[in-house]
Amino acid sequence: MKIVHVASEVFPYAKTGGLADAAGALAGALADAGHEVSVFLPGYRIAVDHPLAAGAERRLQLRIEMGDAFMSGDVRSFSPRKNLTVYFVCRDEFFDRRQPYGNGERDYEDNHHRFIFFCKGVVEALRLLELRADIVHGHDWQCGLLPLLLRHAEQRHGTTLAAKTVFTVHNLAFQGVFPMRSFYRTNLPDELTGIDGLEFYGQLNMMKGGLLFADRVTTVSPSYAREIQTPEFGCGLDGVVQTRAGDIVGLLNGIDPAIWNPASDVHLPARYSAADLSGKAACRAELLRHHGLDPAFKGPVFGMVCRFTEQKGVDLVLANADFFRTADVRLVLLGTGEPRFVEAVRELAMAARGRIAADVRLDEAMSHLVEAGSDFFLMPSRFEPCGLNQMYSQAYGTIPLVSRVGGLADTVTDLDENPAEGTGLMFPPTAEGLRDGLERALRLHADPARRAAAQARGMRKDFSWATAAQAYQRLYDEAV
Ligand code: ADP
Ligand code: GLC
């Protein structure tokens, strides 16, 4: 098949979260399975400057209609592996900036124009390249208008660009909502500004475009596929999601074993496997030493790596500050995010020097060391479409402590409920729930045999993308 993936971030060229890992690994796995795969992402400064993109060549000049004006841009491409071509849609005014979505404090004010331009650039590139895709697969709100723009361009030019479109929701909490007056930049028919189209409380909602107009809609776990049809998790779009209830499927993400494998991980000071965990002890000592904690500490080490937001339950960890200050444990927090959480996390670490370390950075290598060096990994998310770190944790012999939501519920088995198959600890997404999980973690740490058995089970699990990608292949087959 000819498969085109379109995403606002793709590992390793640009990453702010799990979307990048998922899009990059899925595209790679489909290429490995023999499909002809193209991946489009914006030509951000970090992407264009990435060493692996050094061979990128300017392929196309773009002239994109944006409302009543035309904007120029270009498309660069290169092939990082067999069957895979990566395309950057470039326009310096929009993408030659330090970060993909915002300056750290807040989102860029022209994000709607940036991603309308990006989607239009993809459509125009597909036309100019005469690619005739079987599947054009867009991810999250930044690609929400893609199915509409694609069909609109096909009508206008009397040509077929794609047999079918697929849209995947990675996180319904980010919908791309903008003033309706920016709609004219899409050059789409005005009837789409109504409630059956892109209108959402008087505003333009880009996520709605993907949900309503893609041929197939997926999300990243079976539980989340059910949850987003309810008011509690639907973020105001549960009614819209319900209109697709018949054909929305939840397909779990996987792990890219070339990147997340403790036996070959280039970011670790020592490598290890289920058969020999001695390298894990070296990683643990290095993690503690690096953060100014005693490397010989014997009690449980908790790690957490995430965007510091409400979704991830950072406030639930803060609500349990007394536990981390008084119990004989260590805690390493790696993340960036909302200033109020960053400040609170820093204060917590300052008040408990030698026990709690706050590492406020985006650091890919350190995220691997936290996974490898921790005994327990914290993910008390309020909602979690899929979540990757709980899978990385299991692969790295680190026991995940997760709330019972979304993909966390689908990929972790609770040890107390299912002692024979358990790989982690699960609780409701509340401060008390997390507290209960922490207490149970202490008891587990004091029982080395039970802990080792849970670790071994986690490390044996198959989370590989090769398997996960097969589910997408079946979906594509059915669709076309
Ligand atoms: P989400 O996409 O909602 O942020 P996921 O669990 O799907 O959550 O994926 C998050 C990804 O981002 C993981 O690969 C995680 O290791 C990574 N990550 C999050 N924060 C950081 C950070 N500060 N430094 C390095 N990697 C991070
Ligand atoms: C989103 C979700 C996360 C998921 C990731 C990749 O960022 O928040 O749960 O794992 O996308 O699909």
Question: 178 C-alpha to center of ligand 2: Å?
Answer: 22
What residues flank ligand 2, with Cβ below 6 Å? Answer: 17-19, 22, 170-171, 220, 253, 384-388, 407
Torsion sign (Cα): 398, 401, 404, 408: negative
The residues facing 282 across adjacent strands are: none
The pLDDT tens digits along the chain (480 residues) read: 999 999 999 999 999 999 999 999 999 999 999 999 999 999 999 999 999 999 999 999 999 999 999 999 999 999 999 999 999 999 999 999 989 999 877 899 999 999 999 999 999 999 999 999 999 999 999 999 999 999 999 999 999 999 999 999 999 999 999 999 999 999 999 999 999 999 999 999 999 999 999 999 999 999 999 999 999 999 999 999 999 998 899 999 999 888 999 999 999 999 999 999 999 999 999 999 999 999 999 999 999 999 999 999 999 999 999 999 999 999 999 999 999 999 999 999 999 999 999 999 999 999 999 999 999 999 999 999 999 999 999 999 999 999 999 999 999 999 999 999 999 999 999 999 999 999 999 999 999 999 999 999 999 999 999 889 999 999 999 999
Specify the ligand 2 atom closest to the Cα of 311. Answer: 8
Is 394 in contact with 458 (CB distance < 8 Å)? yes
Question: Helix H segments across 67-143?
Answer: 92-95, 111-129
Question: 336 C-alpha to center of ligand 1: Å?
Answer: 10
- Distance of CA 350 to CAs 126, 246, 346, 357, Å? 53, 51, 6, 8
Question: 275 C-alpha to center of ligand 2: Å?
Answer: 31
- Distance of CA 60 to CAs 63, 130, 157, 357, Å? 10, 12, 18, 48
Q: Whose structure tokens read 């849209």?
A: 167
Specify the ligand 1 atom closest to the Cα of 359. Answer: 23
Q: Given ligand 1 and candidates 312, 366, 367, which is best to mutate, with the most ligand atoms within 8 Å of its CB?
A: 367
Is 76 in contact with 13 (CB distance < 8 Å)? no
Give the integer Cα–Cα distance in Å for 169 and 226: 13
- Show the domains of the chain with their CATH numbers: 2-254+465-479 (3.40.50.2000), 278-460 (3.40.50.2000)
Question: 72 C-alpha to center of ligand 2: Å?
Answer: 32
Q: Which ligand has an atom closest to residue 173 CA?
A: 2
Helix (H, G, I), strand (E, B) or coil at 196: coil
Is 336 in contact with 358 (CB distance < 8 Å)? no
Specify the ligand 1 atom closest to the Cα of 361. Answer: 23
What residues flank ligand 1, with Cβ below 6 Å? Answer: 17-19, 21, 305-307, 334-336, 361-364, 367, 386-389
Q: Name the residue among 110, 119, 108, 101 with its Cα closest to residue 65.
A: 119
Give the integer Cα–Cα distance in Å for 143 and 210: 7
For position 104, what pLDDT does the model report?
Answer: 76
**Nearest protein Cα to ligand 2, atom 3:** 387
Question: 19 C-alpha to center of ligand 2: Å?
Answer: 6
Question: Can you list the pairs that 437-441 forms with residues at least 24 positions away whose Cβ atoms lie under 8 Å?
Answer: 437/380, 437/401, 438/302, 438/320, 438/323, 438/327, 438/401, 440/416, 441/300, 441/302, 441/376, 441/399, 441/401
- Distance of CA 80 to CAs 29, 41, 53, 54, 137, Å? 13, 14, 8, 10, 20
Q: Which residues of 335-367 are buried (b: 16+ CB within 10 A; e: fewer)?
A: bbbeeebbebbeebbeebeebbbbbbeebeebb
Residue 354 backbone zone (phi > 0: left; psi -120 to 50: alpha; other: beta) = left
Q: Which helix (H) or strand (E) holds 258?
A: none
Give the integer Cα–Cα distance in Å for 124 and 105: 33
For position 457, what pLDDT does the model report?
Answer: 98
Residues 6+ apart with CB under 8 A from 285: 295, 296, 373
For position 103, what pLDDT does the model report?
Answer: 86
Specify the ligand 2 atom closest to the Cα of 406. Answer: 9
Q: What's at 279, amino acid-wise?
A: G
291 by Cβ neighbours in 10 Å (0-12 / 13-18 / 19+) ranks as: buried
Q: Whose structure tokens read 């270009």?
A: 74
Q: Per the structure block, which two tokens stand in for 258? A: 């070339």
**Nearest protein Cα to ligand 1, atom 12:** 17
**Nearest protein Cα to ligand 2, atom 10:** 387
Phi/psi at 273 (nearest 5 deg)?
-145, 175
Specify the ligand 2 atom closest to the Cα of 19. Answer: 6
Specify the ligand 2 atom closest to the Cα of 224. Answer: 9
Question: 107 C-alpha to center of ligand 1: Å?
Answer: 18
Is 273 in contact with 458 (CB distance < 8 Å)? no
Specify the ligand 1 atom closest to the Cα of 384. Answer: 3
Q: Per the structure block, which two tokens stand in for 208? A: 């709605």
Question: 254 C-alpha to center of ligand 2: Å?
Answer: 11
Give the integer Cα–Cα distance in Å for 280 and 283: 5
Q: Name the residue among 338, 307, 333 with its Cα closest to residue 320.
A: 333
Q: Given ligand 1 and candidates 169, 389, 390, which is best to mutate, with the most ligand atoms within 8 Å of its CB?
A: 389
Is 403 in contact with 237 (CB distance < 8 Å)? no
What pTM, to 2 d.p., does this model score? 0.96
Torsion sign (Cα): 89, 90, 91, 96: positive
Q: Given ligand 1 and candidates 19, 366, 388, which is best to mutate, with the most ligand atoms within 8 Å of its CB?
A: 388
For position 247, what pLDDT does the model report?
Answer: 84
Q: Name the residue among 276, 348, 285, 338 with its Cα closest to residue 311.
A: 338
Q: Which ligand has an atom closest to residue 24 CA?
A: 2
Q: Which ligand has an atom closest to residue 140 CA?
A: 2
For position 67, what pLDDT does the model report?
Answer: 97
The DSSP bridge pattern shows strands 376-379 and 399-403 to be parallel
CA atoms within 13 A on the CB side of 3: 29
- Distance of CA 264 to CAs 49, 103, 272, 368, 459, Å? 26, 34, 8, 12, 14
Residues 6+ apart with CB under 8 A from 227: 233, 234, 383, 405, 406
Question: 384 C-alpha to center of ligand 2: Å?
Answer: 7
Q: Per the structure block, which two tokens stand in for 5? A: 């993936």
Question: 313 C-alpha to center of ligand 2: Å?
Answer: 15
Question: 86 C-alpha to center of ligand 2: Å?
Answer: 22
Question: 334 C-alpha to center of ligand 1: Å?
Answer: 10
Q: Per the structure block, which two tokens stand in for 465? A: 């993308």
Q: Per the structure block, which two tokens stand in for 242? A: 């319900």
Question: 201 C-alpha to center of ligand 1: Å?
Answer: 31
